[in-house]
Each structure stands twice: as C-alpha cells, then as structure tokens.
Amino acid sequence: MAAGAHMAGPAVRSAVTAPAGRVAIGVCSEYNRQVSDVLSAIFDQLGGLQSLVRGKTVAIKVNMTGPTSDKLNSMPNQMTHWVHPQVLGSLVALLGEAGATRIRLLESAPVGTKPLEEFMISAGWQPKDLAGAAKRVEFENTNFLGSGKTYARFMVPGGGLMYAGYDLNHSYQDTDVFVSLAKLKEHRTAGVTLSMKNCFGITPCTIYSQEAPEDEPSIVPVGFRAPMHSGSRVPPKSAPQPVVESKDPTFRVPRITADLVASRPIHLAVIDGIYTMTGGELPNQGKNTIHQAIHPGLLIAGKNCVCTDAVATAVMGFDPMADRGTPPFEKCDSTLRLAEGLGVGTRDLARIEVVGTPIAKARYRFPTLTQLTT
C-alpha cells in the first residue's frame, strides 16, 4: 500500500432538511420487458430522470447481500433476497438514456479483493449485459480500498447517532448522484430493509469487521461487519469512533443506518418488490424463523429515501409511524423515525404524495416477524 493510502480523504458534510416528497408505485408482475416500461413510467411520475442525472456520474448501491450459496429452497437469490439483474439492467439503461455520462455499480462483495463482476458471474449474472446497457458502466467492489488511493470520510451532521462519521470506498464520494437499489424485505434488527438499510452494506470490512486492525484499515477485507451489529469492538483508530456505547443490535443497526443516509444522502431510491421473501433479510438467519418466498409484483421509487421507505413500509401492511414494540419494529427502534429526526425526510404519509398505484391497491401484507417465528 502506498504511503498514506489508508488515510481518509476530505471530510464530506451534507446539510439536510426534512422535506415532504413524492413516491411512485408501479405494478409489475414479472422480470421481463415490462420492468423497463414500469420503471420508465414511475420515473416520469417523479418528474423524470434528466434533471437529476444528465451529464453526471451516477453510483448505484446494489443489494446483493450475503454469499451466493445462501438460498431459500434452492431458488435464485434474486427471486428472494437480492435485487434482480433485470431491474438493475433496466435502471442502468434508463439512466443512460436520461444522459448519465458514467454509471458505477457498487456492492461490498464478500469475495476479498476480487472484482464485483466475478461475484456477479458466480451468481449466474451477466455483467457484460449490464455494462452494455449504457455507454460507460463501471463496477467496484466497495468492501475495501478498491481502485481508490484513500477512503472517503463522511461525517454525520449533528455529530452522529452511533458513530461521528464513516470511512467508505471512494466511489461513494466520487459521484454526483447516489442511487440505492433495494429489495422489499423485513429485517430482524431493523424492522424493514429497504432503500436506507441497503446502505448499511456500504461500510467496508477492511474497517468495520471483527478482524480489522486496531490502528488502520486492513488491505484485504476479512470476515464480516459483525461489530457493526454487536458493538464487540471499535473501528481502527484512523476511522471516526462511536459517540455512544451499546452492544444491542436492535439499537445499533437502526442508528447506523440513519447515520449513513444522513452523511451519504440518497438521491434516488428504487425498491424491487416483484418477487421477494418474508422473515428477514437472508434466507438462513433468525432462529426458528419461517422464511417464505412471495410475489408482491411491485416496483417503488422516490427521490427521498425516508418518504420512499415509509410508503414501502405501508405497502407491506405496516404503519410507518410505528416505533419499538409495534410491527414491524417489534424488537427494534425505527430507522424511519431516526432518519426523520436527522432531517433526512418525513415518514408521515399525510405529507407524502403517492403517485401511480395507490397504497391501498398495491398493499401486500407481510406477516410480522413474531408470526413467522415458530
């Protein structure tokens, strides 16, 4: 590693307010050509993509959480807990048509320092097709330093709920527009995992894993970001440190998520709810939890992540104004409330304009995690 390569780059602070927003819901029954048509329609209902992306670099955080071997009933991961490549490819194409000059596909792939494309190929995806969907498409495994020379530092406005700031791969800074492409799912320690919780995975394991060194990031990512859940250790001294002490995942995970979306704002949230699963974020997590493959047949998008996740939460049959003790936050704090408190956006449906398919017509009630526990 070159001298200083482990050091974080210039601090990034983002002033946030608490705006109301518009969220679009589209009915989409299968992963085929209609995905592009439905996405195009809901983006038009949001005011179009051109003003957001023309002439700009766009980074897309893709939800491919967990190893390729983690499957539900031998189903392809993209049919249960990953976003589907059809949705990603259609999104890339539409961004390109809207004038984006460079599109970066990002994920903290659990394959060491291997390229993200290799992880996609191991999952049966065709990165060549994704690369061909627009003029200039790049891939980055953001689980380590990658092609950058330094980590980018994102400080949380107001000082942070869990950490003062976060050191991330350069690609999260070297972009004009940040897109979170998420799956419509429940989560054991965050209640729901949508566009905001998708960003929990932008934290590199070179810094936030149990095996990270005490003083500076490791060169190769080893292990998983367990300390982010458990508080079992702090990041290396070179990274911003915790501002509160807690070892409770149901306290930590929602706060880290809110911190991340306040410090690295999402400009476009897209949620794949065509096929998904109940019972949590991964097929084999949660003791005695029943995981079920389901088919809501929906795509949801918005330009404010809190508003988008609030509408998605309502579509799942839950109250976005709920907090700890009420589904989907039976045993955890609400990321929606915490992010709202940081000024990222509103979770109040009365202040959110829903266009396209109404919530009442789109609603696909998810069973609560308590109901799915034997």
**pLDDT for position 19:** 52
**Nearest C-alpha neighbor of 305 from the set 277, 263, 249:** 263
Q: Is the pLDDT confidence value at 7 over 60?
A: no
pLDDT confidence of residue 374:
64
Rounded mean pLDDT, 279-302: 89
The predicted-structure confidence for 315-335, as pLDDT tens digits, reads as follows 999 999 999 999 999 999 999
Q: Is the pLDDT of residue 153 over 80?
A: yes
Cα distance between residue 263 and residue 372, in whole Å: 34
Q: Which residues contact 360 (CB under 8 A, 6 or more apart)?
A: none
Identify the CA nearest to 180 among candidates 94, 280, 78, 107.
107
**CA 216 from centre of chain:** 26
Furthest-apart CA atoms within the chain: distance in Å: 57
∠ Cα 206 209 213 (to 5°): 60
What does the block give as tokens for 208?
Answer: 């936030």
What pLDDT score was predicted for residue 373? Answer: 79
Q: Is the model's pLDDT at 152 over the cut of 60?
A: yes
Average pLDDT value for residue range 231-251: 97
Report CA-CA distances (Å) from 147 to 111, 140, 144, 157, 223: 16, 8, 9, 28, 21
Residues 143-157, mean pLDDT to the nearest whole number: 96
Residue-wise pLDDT for 15-62, tens only, equals 334 457 999 999 999 999 999 999 999 999 999 999 999 999 999 999
Please give the residue that has the higher pLDDT: either 194 or 283: 194
Q: Are 263 and 153 in contact (CB under 8 A)?
A: no
pTM, two decimals, is 0.94
> How many residues appear in the chain?
374
**How much of the chain, in percent, has pLDDT values that exceed 90?**
88
When the pLDDT of each residue in the chain is averaged and rounded to a whole number, the result is 93
Q: What share of the chain in percent tops pLDDT 70?
A: 94
Q: What pLDDT score does 36 carry?
A: 98
* Per-residue b or e along 24-60, where b marks 16 or more CB atoms closer than 10 Å to that residue's CB: bbbebeebeebbbebbbbbbebbeebeebbeebbbbb
Mean pLDDT calculated for residue range 340-363: 97
Tokens (6 digits) for 349:
């449906």
Whether 370 and 327 have beta carbons less than 8 Å apart is answered as yes
Which tokens hold the place of 80?
A: 């249960």
User: Would you place residue 289 in the very low, low, confident or very high pLDDT band (cuts 50, 70, 90)?
Assistant: confident
Kindly indicate the confidence band of residue 371, based on its pLDDT and cuts at 50, 70 and 90: confident
So what's the pLDDT on residue 2? 35
Close Cβ partners of 276 (under 8 Å, ≥ 6 residues apart): 80, 81, 183, 184, 185, 293, 294, 296
Q: Which residue has the tokens 């596909």?
A: 105
pLDDT band at 84 (very low <50, low <70, confident <90, very high): very high
pLDDT in tens, 214-232: 999 999 998 899 999 999 9
User: How many CB atoms are closer than 10 A to CB 305?
Assistant: 28
